[in-house]
A and B are shown apart, each in its own frame.
Chain A
Amino acid sequence: MRFSIYRYNPEADKKPYMQDYDLDTTANNCYMVLDALLAIKNTMDDTLTLRRSCREGVCGSDGMNINGKNGLACTTHLSTLQEPIVIRPLPGLPVLRDLVVDMKQFYQQYEKVKPYLQNSDPAPAKERLQSPEERAKLDGLYECILCACCTSSCPSFWWNPEKFVGPAGLLQAYRFVADSRDTATNERLADLTDPFSLFRCRGIMNCVDVCPKGLNPTKAINQLKELMLEEAV
């Protein structure tokens, strides 16, 4: 199979370029994009740089742009792709080297939504209980692995990465707003009422299209807007 891979080493290259590799995927036992990338790195070109860890869609390290669509290399089947397979780093984030991007802006936005439980009530002796129904509200929200596929596919984030929280951060904002044990709902909503943090979302649903975990950040964003409206009027 032919692969066309984005290469850029800021210490050696003036400009990024695309490099082609022809890999015998059958001989190398490759099923997923990550298998092929590692085979290229191990057998053809050990300068190829990428992030990966769990290789089974849990850690979120190997988010990249595969044939124009963001996804995890480890969960994308080679058989679903047309040749040449074009691999680029996640768009909209600064490239450190080859397929490795600087995730600082992504994490800063994540940090902004205070992604941890806040509860001003005194802690009970054992634990804060939830009914099964209350717990069920967190399904589809807590599963995010922070791979940045959604946020880096969002034009609103591309144009305003320092102001727009992005789908991944907003999904987590709603995850804690929806949590019956969290008492900071009003503060969380108040932090998002400016024109950029939440409302720069125009609902184009690129995030839903690319999420490797099948989550729906647009729905969470709309629920945040609805809650704000209920609080406000």
Chain B
Amino acid sequence: MDSAKVTDAPVVKKRKTASLTAKKARVGWVFVLPFIIGLIILYIGVIIESIEYSFATYTTIPAVKGGGYSLTWVGLENYANILPKTVNTETGETFIEMMFTGFGSQIIEVVAIILLSLFLAVILNQKMIGRAAFRAIFFLPVVVGAGIIAQIDFSNALLESMSSTEAISTGAVQTSAMSAMVDAMDISMLFQNLGFGSELVEVVTTLVGNIYDIVNRAGVQMLIFLAGLQSISPSIYESCQMEGATAWEMFWKITLPMISPMILANAVYTVIDSFTAESNNVMTYILSLGSSVSPSGQQAAAAWSYFIVVIVMLVLAYLILGRVIYYDRRNDS
């Protein structure tokens, strides 16, 4: 617009550069086009519709009348129905209670997964005998640990707890759940003798009992941490060593700040992963509320209220970790 005031020669030049950037921008749109098509045709509509379901009742229109489906607005009725609904007839637990009991144990598990994966990544980054083999073993769950295997293992654990102890003592080694392997009773006795509080003991024993689950779910996080560790320049460690820092000091003063962005990324990843895991009983319950073919408003309402819980947890993680994160501004663009 202002180019009228400028002399002729720069105008030509300016127009040329402007068209080049415009051209580049257009090419950029071409590259992200697949994703944008998906967004417009499917994804945005899906999200809006899913929210609509939670405020409506769904009815199918029979094929004679043209097919399709209709939604009747019912306001907050679905939420009012699902939240106080009794989930477990034995204990009288309601849905909202189930969400929050799950919430507490999830937080502990997420923290445990992140700490363990960081610890293992640091160890696997050191030079030692059999490192390649150990790496291969620890990243195995990334490839085979999810989906069907988790489902089968999980249903095994359920069956096992339901079946009498006699079945186990018959010698069948069907136990994939590690709770049988690590005898939690002994550990709790040990800790209680040491004089720790019973709540702490309970946390520790459940974590130890779930060690199989936790190690299995830490694979991707380990990979991300390992990538972060390898990107730290060795010259920083060298200069630290010259100054006489111990390995312990180097971990706290170099390693931890340098990979703190990865801790945040992993926290977000772990929270989402553990909230949608096959072994998560809230998610299982939500999916059982309606079949995928005929959606129910209650299912959508339950799903979105659960998602709000997840978002709250993500914001919490972000607020807590965002304070301590150190960004290396070296190659910031």
Asked if chains A and B come from one complex, the reply is no
